[in-house]
Amino acid sequence: MSEEHEVEVEVNEVEVNEPKAKSQAQSASESVGKAINSIMESLEAALTGRGNTVMVRVNDEALDKLDMLVASGICSSRSEAAAFLLQRGIESSEPLFMRISDVTDQITTLRQELQEWVHQKK
């Protein structure tokens, strides 16, 4: 009789955990879907209007990452992979670029004020 009780407990535990497992699987699937969408958006942004050429030297680690993107089929060339990674870096550094923009605007304003002041004193 105690064996039957143990079997019942095991079956009940499986039934209780099954919705949780489905929820975790659905959550993981949604996360993967979001990551893929994010990659596709970054890739599309990186490949739009690529009329500018930049030559850059990279270390072995960076080259390996570029090659991984090409080998996985995410990017079709090292150039495309580099553009993709640049775009992702720009997107993730937006607060930095906003701060740089604010400070350079202040510097430009101060430079103009100084030049005006000097011209008035002549």
State pLDDT tens for residues 48-75.
777 888 999 999 999 999 999 999 999 9
Please state, rounded to an integer, the average pLDDT across all residues of the chain.
82
Which pLDDT does position 23 carry in this prediction?
75
Rounded Cα distance between 38 and 109, Å, is 37
Which pLDDT does position 83 carry in this prediction?
92
Residues constituting the chain: 122
Which pLDDT does position 72 carry in this prediction?
94
Rounded Cα distance between 107 and 103, Å, is 6
Q: Where are the alpha helices (DSSP H) in the chain?
A: 2-47, 60-71, 78-92, 94-121
Which pLDDT does position 40 carry in this prediction?
75
Closest CA to 66 of 80, 56, 52, 55: 80
Is the dihedral angle over the CA atoms 90, 95, 96, 100 positive or is it negative? positive
Residue owning tokens 């960076």: 62
Rounded Cα distance between 109 and 56, Å, is 33
Low-confidence ranges of the chain (pLDDT < 70): 1-19, 21-22, 46-47
